Each structure stands twice: as C-alpha cells, then as structure tokens.
Amino acid sequence: MSTASYNDVVESLLKLHKCYRVQGLLNTDIITKVDFFSKPHATLALATMLWVINSTKRNTLGYSDIVALQRRTAIFLVKSDVSEIEFLKKLLELAPSKLGLDIASASRRCMVEYHKLVDIAKLLNLIKEIISLIPIATQLQIPENLKRGKVPCLNDYEMLPSTNAIADTLIKTMYSEFENMRELLEDPYFAHAMDVMKRKIKVSQLKPSDIVAFSLVVLAILRYHKGAQICIEPGIDVETLCKKIYNDLTSTGADPTTSDIYTLYQELSMRSLMRK
C-alpha cells in the first residue's frame, strides 16, 4: 500500500481548501500553508497521527497502541498555545463529510487522488478524537505496558514536517525530556552538552548552529548507547527528529562547526572510533 508523506498531506489539504473556496463551500480562508510548518505542537500531532495511519497499513500497530498515542497527543496539545488547537479544529472543516460529500465525490470534484483523500479522512477523524480528549487530558492515563520497554514511536523521516521554523521549540522540548534521563546524563560528554545548552536557553542565545551541533551530539550519544530508545512526546523518535533538524537547518546555511558545542561532537566521534 502506498504511504503518504507529511508534505503530500499538506498539499492535498491545501488543494481541498482551495477547491472548497472556489466552489463557495467555504466563505473565507481558514488555513494557510504556513500553519502546517510554524505550529510545533499541531504539526507534531499531525505527523504522529499520519505515522499511525501508515503504520496500520503495515499492521505494525495494534488498537491499544493507537489509543495510547492519541492520549499522549492530547496531553501534549494541552501544553500548546490555544492557536495551535484552533488550527486543528479548523482542519476538521475540510472533511468531505462535513460538507455533505463522500470521498469519491470530493476526489472527483477537487481532483485530489482518492487514496490520498482516504488518508486525509482517517487523519481528520483521529485528530477529531484527540481534540475531544483535550478537556480531560490531565486525567488521562497511559497504559502501564507502554511505560516500560519499547514504545511505538514515529521513526519515518518522511512523516515529519520541515523543522526550519520550529527547530528552536523542538530542541527545547528535547532538552526538557533529556533532563530526566539519568542513563544519558551519566555520560560526561552529554552532561557537558546539556550544561552548555542550559546556559544558552536561559539567556535566549540559542542559534541555528547550536541547534544542529547539539543534534549531532545527541546522534553520537545514541550511537554510543546502542539500544537506548528515546521517544519524546507525543511519540517521536529522537534519532529520526535530530536527523531531520540537522538536514533541514544545514540546507538553509546553519553551520555546526561555528558552535562551541561542536567540539563535544568531535570528542564523542573520536571516542566512538576508539571504541571500535
């Protein structure tokens, strides 16, 4: 079965939105392309649920996994700005059923490929269920079996949005989760990198070069600690996310070698070579 990337879904949703506007089914523009790449919590929620849809096609997720990820996403969204949740609510207005259309009719009328529209309908249904959980998110419990061992985690690069506009927030989210990971903090190199990041975050001096250098440090640490799984909320594999951040930011000119954190990456790389 074909799988949809994050960009595929964005383009299809924008095409659907334009079609509805032209045909008078919507009175005003309710979303823009910028929304899909500038709202960190909403974009990761969409990415996680898109990964869920693609994973179910491969039968790699069970029902309990899906429910747990929806709960985690609801809890994650509670921490976001209200505008992010409002954006997700507006997306629900694009569901064909909301306008009295079936998927086949909407596909023909708006020239959106049928299989892509099926995925969009599934995605919007999952998001609708998550939004319904937000009022009770603080009371939600994650099943005990998913708190131990390996947990389902988005590990597909294509499912993630461009991180250029949200890398600062993503790296701070990672940093917050790393503060509670004793196994990694026992590594002196990682502890040093965390101290440097703490100072930069505290005085708002975190630059793109620091972000990509820290991403390299994280990747080096994970290579050294083979088997360690780090899955940040709402369900994103850190290694996949760091690779995405690094590639996105370096492609727009960020140079990790200009950050003082890069020296730590070089030392870590040398340690890994000596270990082999």
Shared domain check, 185 and 123: no
Within a domain: residue 196? Answer: yes
Per-residue confidence at 272, pLDDT binned at 50, 70, 90? Answer: low
Shared domain check, 15 and 137: yes
Domain containing 242 equals 162-275
Shared domain check, 181 and 139: no
Average pLDDT over residues 81-88: 95
Kindly state the DSSP code that residue 92 receives in the 8-state scheme.
G
Shared domain check, 166 and 140: no
pLDDT at 140 over 80: no
Tokens found for residue 147: 């708190």
Q: Burial letters for 264-276: b for 16+ Cβ neighbours within 10 Å, e otherwise?
A: bbeebbeeeeeee
Shared domain check, 251 and 216: yes
pLDDT at 274 over 80: no
pLDDT at 237 over 90: yes
Domain end position, chosen among 115, 145, 175: 145
Overall domain count for the chain = 2
- Residue 229: the pLDDT is 76
Within a domain: residue 155? Answer: no
Shared domain check, 186 and 134: no
Average pLDDT over residues 104-110: 94
Tokens found for residue 250: 């370096």
Which residue from 152, 127, 139, 135 is spatially nearest to 68, judged by alpha carbons? 152
Distance CA 218, CA 101 (A): 47
Per-residue confidence at 125, pLDDT binned at 50, 70, 90? Answer: very high
Domain end position, chosen among 145, 180, 209: 145
Per-residue confidence at 137, pLDDT binned at 50, 70, 90? Answer: confident
Helix (H) or strand (E) run with residue 232 in it: strand 231-232
Question: For residue 204, what are the CA distances in angstroms to 67, 129, 169, 200, 201?
Answer: 37, 36, 12, 6, 5
Shared domain check, 98 and 16: yes
CA angle at 115 for the pair 155 and 14, rounded to the nearest 5°: 80
Shared domain check, 141 and 64: yes
Shared domain check, 117 and 28: yes
236 phi, psi to nearest 5 deg: -120, 125
Distance CA 194, CA 178 (A): 8
Within a domain: residue 85? Answer: yes
pLDDT at 182 over 90: no
Within a domain: residue 154? Answer: no
Per-residue confidence at 207, pLDDT binned at 50, 70, 90? Answer: very high
Is 131 in a helix, a strand, or coil? Answer: helix
Distance CA 212, CA 185 (A): 20
pLDDT at 68 over 50: yes
Condensed to tens digits (0 to 9), the pLDDT of residues 16-41 reads: 999 999 999 998 999 999 999 999 99
β-pair partners for 237? 231
Amino acid at position 204, single letter = S
Shared domain check, 111 and 13: yes
Within a domain: residue 150? Answer: no
Amino acid at position 46, single letter = L
Tokens found for residue 198: 């703490």
Within a domain: residue 99? Answer: yes
Per-residue confidence at 64, pLDDT binned at 50, 70, 90? Answer: confident
Within a domain: residue 77? Answer: yes
Per-residue confidence at 148, pLDDT binned at 50, 70, 90? Answer: very low
Within a domain: residue 151? Answer: no
Distance CA 121, CA 14 (A): 14
Q: Burial letters for 76-107: b for 16+ Cβ neighbours within 10 Å, e otherwise?
A: bbbebeeebbebbeebeebbbeeeebebeebb
